[in-house]
């Protein structure tokens, strides 16, 4: 099958339907405009029940995307990695350092953050299902393979996930320009580090649910680091403190 050469893309009504029925992680679903009858209606309904983004596009767009030239009005992009549940991540009994990403939209930034998290010994990455990039082949490549070695959780409600992390004993630390200087704060112990989107930073609701806000002091003319760089610096600072005797 041609699909073997494009493992992130599933085309055709029955293959897409079977993906959704099996629980396969689907990042996005593209449907031809006006196609809402029969199995297409069932596909759209299952996708929405699973909180999968559904995009209706002109059939010509699907024609240009298709590798099989037999898309039948529907194409799904599936995840190249297997997501796990937050409960399962917390049950791994690994060092309790978690990276939570609140709205990273650039796949290269996401890949870089996953790479830094793995290199800094973090136990897992938590991302939202909506208004953020999923783990695509571009993300996997940008992570230099780290996405295959680090558990990744994809949640519907990021605020609820933060509460679950707090209940598990984690200190929720958010990166924010109005926060305290990171190396002047005690960042030892179980921590979930939250990094906001590239443009707007942490959403207000997420910020309100953080136990501590920290910032990286800047000494040049530029007002901020990009999300991937800031995340890498803060993850390293957390590990530095946890590996430095009191």
* Per-residue model confidence as pLDDT tens digits over 201-246: 899 999 999 999 999 999 998 888 899 999 999 999 999 999 887 6
- Domains, the chain, ordered by start: 2-78 (3.30.1330.30), 86-242 (3.40.1280.10)
Tokens of 41: 């209606």
Instruction: Output the average pLDDT for the chain.
Output: 90
Tokens of 173: 């630390």
Q: Is the pLDDT of residue 24 over 80?
A: no
Least confident of 90-99, 130-139, 159-168, 195-204: 130-139
Q: Give the pLDDT of residue 184.
A: 96
DSSP string across the chain = -GGGG-TTEEESHHHHHHHHHHT--EEEEEEETT--SHHHHHHHHHHHHTT-EEEEE-HHHHHHH-SSS--TTEEEEEPSS--B-HHHHHTT---SEEEEEE----HHHHHHHHHHHHHTT--EEEEESSSS----HHHHHHTTTGGGTS-EEEES-HHHHHHHHHHTT-EEEEEEEEEEEGGGS---SSEEEEEEBTTTBS-HHHHHT-SEEEE----SS-----HHHHHHHHHHHHHHHHTS--
pLDDT band at 2 (very low <50, low <70, confident <90, very high): very low
Give every CB contact of residue 23 below 8 A, 6+ residues apart in sequence: none
Give every CB contact of residue 229 below 8 A, 6+ residues apart in sequence: none
Percent of the chain with pLDDT strictly greater than 70: 97
- Predicted confidence (pLDDT) per residue in 206-218, tens digit: 999 999 999 999 9
- Predicted confidence (pLDDT) per residue in 36-47, tens digit: 788 999 999 999
Average pLDDT over residues 73-80: 87
Q: Give the pLDDT of residue 5.
A: 35
Higher per-residue confidence, 8 vs 115 = 115
């Amino acid at each position: 099958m041609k699909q073997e050469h494009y493992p992130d893309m599933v085309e055709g009504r029955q293959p897409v339907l079977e993906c959704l029925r099996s629980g396969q992680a689907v990042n996005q679903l593209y449907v031809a405009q006006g196609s809402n009858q029969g199995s297409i209606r069932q596909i759209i309904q299952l996708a929405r029940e699973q909180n999968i983004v559904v995009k209706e596009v002109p059939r010509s767009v699907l024609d240009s995307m298709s590798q099989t030239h037999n898309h039948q009005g529907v194409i799904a992009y599936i995840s190249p990695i297997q997501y796990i549940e937050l409960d399962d991540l917390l049950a791994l009994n690994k060092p309790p350092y978690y990276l939570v990403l609140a709205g990273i939209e650039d796949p290269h930034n996401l890949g870089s953050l996953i790479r830094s998290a793995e290199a800094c010994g973090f136990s897992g990455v938590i991302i939202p299902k909506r208004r953020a990039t999923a783990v695509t082949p571009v993300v996997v490549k940008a992570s230099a393979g780290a996405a295959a070695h680090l558990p990744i959780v994809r949640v519907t409600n990021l605020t609820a996930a933060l509460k679950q992390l707090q209940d598990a004993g984690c200190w929720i630390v958010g990166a924010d320009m109005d926060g305290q200087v990171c190396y002047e704060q005690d960042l030892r112990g179980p921590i979930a580090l939250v990094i906001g989107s590239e443009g707007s930073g942490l959403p207000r609701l997420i910020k309100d649910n953080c136990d501590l806000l920290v910032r990286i002091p800047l000494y040049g003319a530029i007002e901020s680091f990009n999300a991937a760089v800031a995340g890498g610096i803060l993850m390293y600072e957390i590990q530095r403190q946890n590996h430095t005797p009191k």
